[in-house]
Amino acid sequence: MRDTTVARSYAQALFALGERKQLHDNFVSSLSELEAALHAEPTLLAFLASPKIAAAAKKEALRKALEGRADPLFLNFLMVLVDKRRQRLLLEISREYQTLLDERLGRLHVQVTLARQPDERMRTELTEQLGRSLGREVIPNIHVNGEILGGIIVRYGDRVLDGSLRRRMLSLRRRLLDAGLPINS
């Protein structure tokens, strides 16, 4: 929990800089470059997080990897992270920055569970319908779970909208059992 709070604070600082200098596009691009490098080479994050490696070596590695590919202010931000020994939070800071940007732009990430994989047309219709229903631009993250049998489950923030066939059948079963109907023998 504490790491998330710290990461969010650094993301807010980077976000404020992006707002002041109108550099959100550059920062998003720089964060994408950094994430791609960290995912392509998992040992890079271990290298950056290691307390046995000098901060100067870490800074040099980051400069070599990102100079010319990342915004200079972003590169300076990374140097501050290394100075403060927060570089192990890079991926979390990136996620938090994207969340702040999405909030600023009115975008809402939703988790959508379906019984089967949607085709492109269904995905587009689903995105549009959810956007109209929720009154915001929606970015769906679709999961497939055959156990829901049919329908849809939508999660966003702390809300869950369960329109699954499985839930409806369980609800019907509960009502029938609670009705206490007499049994004819």
pLDDT digits over 43-52, tens only? 888 899 899 9
The C-alpha angle 64, 65, 66, rounded to 5 degrees, equals 100
Q: Which residues of 23-61 are buried (b: 16+ CB within 10 A; e: fewer)?
A: bbebbbebbebbeebbeeeeebbeebeeeeeeeeebbee
Q: Which residues of 137-165 are buried (b: 16+ CB within 10 A; e: fewer)?
A: ebebebeeeeebeeebbbbbeeeeeeebe
Q: How much is the pLDDT for 152?
A: 94
Q: How far lies 15's CA from each of 7, 8, 67, 98, 118, in Å? A: 12, 10, 21, 9, 35
Residues of the chain with CATH 1.10.520.20: 2-103
pLDDT digits over 130-148, tens only? 999 999 999 999 999 999 9
What six digits make up the tokens of 33? 């470059």
Q: Where does the pLDDT of residue 11 fall: very low under 50, low under 70, confident under 90, or very high at 90 and above?
A: very high
Asked whether residue 90 carries a pLDDT value surpassing 80, the answer given is yes
CATH architecture, range 2-103: Orthogonal Bundle (1.10)
Asked whether residue 9 carries a pLDDT value surpassing 90, the answer given is yes
Q: Where does the pLDDT of residue 185 fall: very low under 50, low under 70, confident under 90, or very high at 90 and above?
A: low
Is the overall model pTM greater than 0.75, yes or no? Answer: no
Q: Where does the pLDDT of residue 89 fall: very low under 50, low under 70, confident under 90, or very high at 90 and above?
A: very high
